Amino acid sequence: MKTRMLKIFVLAAMVALGCNLTPVDADATATQIAADIFATQTAQAPTITPSFTPTLTETPTLTPPPTETETPTPAFTDTPVLSPTPEPEVILFDDFSNPDEAVWVAEEFVEPSLGSITAVDGRVLLETRYNTEDFFGIAQITYHDLPQDFAVTVEIEFTAGSSEIGEAGILIRLTPDYAADYEFTIAPDGSFAIFKYTEEFDALIDYTESSAIRTEPGAVNQLTVLADGPAMTLLINGINVGTIEDDDIHGAWLGLVVYNFEDVGTGAYFDNLLITDLATYFAEPPAVP
C-alpha cells in the first residue's frame, strides 16, 4: 500500500516539473552532441607526422642530337718526291782469276831495272829484281776513277826469299801523273807505315811493328783503308792500327805496289781486291783470311 502510494507521488512530481520546463529543440541538440563528440575525438587523436617528404626535381632538359656536318675533304698537294736511299755499292771486286779481263793498268819501271807483273794461280804477282844498291825498285798496278770516299781491302802474301825490308801495299788517292799519293805498306819483318808522297816521302806513321801482322812463311795479311774525306783509317787483318788526317792529295787512282830497297828483290801475291762505298763496307766487312 505504501509502495503504490510512493509511485503515485513520484509521478505527480514529475508531471508538475514538466509543466515548468522549456521545450527542447531536438535538431539543435543533436547537432551540438555531434560537434562535442567530433571535438573530443579530434583532441584525443594522435598527431601523425609524415616520415618522408618527396623531393620534387626539375624536369630534365633534353639536349637535341648534334647536327651532322660533312667532313671536309682535305686538299691534296702533289705527292712529294722522296730521294731514294743509295743502294750499297761494290765499285770493284777482282780475284785476279782471269788476267784477260783485268781492269788494271800495269806500270813497269824498266830503268835501271825490271819489275815483273804476272798472274799466278788466280793471284797477281808483283816482283822487283835489282842488282844495284842505289835505287829502289817498283812494280805496281793501278785502278782509275775512284770516288773520294771508299773502302779498299786486299790480301797480300810475300814470296819466299823476299827482302825483310821490302814492302807491299796500297797506294791511295794516286794522281794520274804518279806525282802524289798516300802509301800504306807492310814488310815481312812485321812492321807497317803510311807515307805521303809529293816529290819526297813524308812519314805520317813511320815504320811501326805490329802484332796484327802475320810473319810466318806463307802468311796472308789483309790490308784495309777506309778513306773518308781527309781521314784515312788503317786496318791489318781487321785490327785498327791507326787513323791519319791529311787533305793535301785528291787523286782518283788506286794502286797496288811492291818496293825493294836493297839488292835482294821483293815479291808479293795480291788477291781478292774489294773496293766499295763506306756504307757497304760497314754493313758487311770482308772476312779476314
Work out the burial of residue 133: count CB atoms within 10 Å of its CB; fewer than 13 is exposed, 13-18 middle, 19 or more buried.
exposed
HSE value, Cβ hemisphere, 13 Å, CA-based, for 155: 16
Mean pLDDT comparison of 70-79, 89-98, 217-226, 259-268, highest-scoring range: 217-226
Query: Given a cut of 50, is residue 17 above it in pLDDT?
Result: no
Least reliable range by pLDDT among 180-189, 236-245, 259-268: 259-268
What mean pLDDT is predicted for residues 18-31?
A: 48
Query: Given a cut of 70, is residue 275 above it in pLDDT?
Result: yes
HSE value, Cβ hemisphere, 13 Å, CA-based, for 73: 2
What mean pLDDT is predicted for residues 112-138?
A: 66
C-alpha cell at 262: 836493297
Contact in structure between 126 and 270 (CB atoms under 8 Å) = yes
Please tell me the predicted confidence (pLDDT) of residue 70. 58
Contact in structure between 264 and 156 (CB atoms under 8 Å) = no
Query: Given a cut of 80, is residue 201 above it in pLDDT?
Result: yes
Please tell me the predicted confidence (pLDDT) of residue 187. 96
Least reliable range by pLDDT among 135-139, 223-227, 264-268: 135-139
Grid cell 819526297 is found at 200
Query: Given a cut of 50, is residue 11 above it in pLDDT?
Result: no
Mean pLDDT of the residues in the chain: 76
Please tell me the predicted confidence (pLDDT) of residue 199. 87
In angstroms, rounded to a whole number, what is the distance separating the alpha carbons of residues 121 and 100? 14
Please tell me the predicted confidence (pLDDT) of residue 183. 96
Please tell me the predicted confidence (pLDDT) of residue 126. 85
Q: Which domains does the chain show, CATH number per domain?
A: 90-283 (2.60.120.560)
Picking from 171, 154, 168, the residue whose alpha carbon sits closest to that of residue 92 is 154
In angstroms, rounded to a whole number, what is the distance separating the alpha carbons of residues 226 and 215? 24
Q: How confident is the model at residue 77 (pLDDT cuts 50, 70, 90)?
A: low
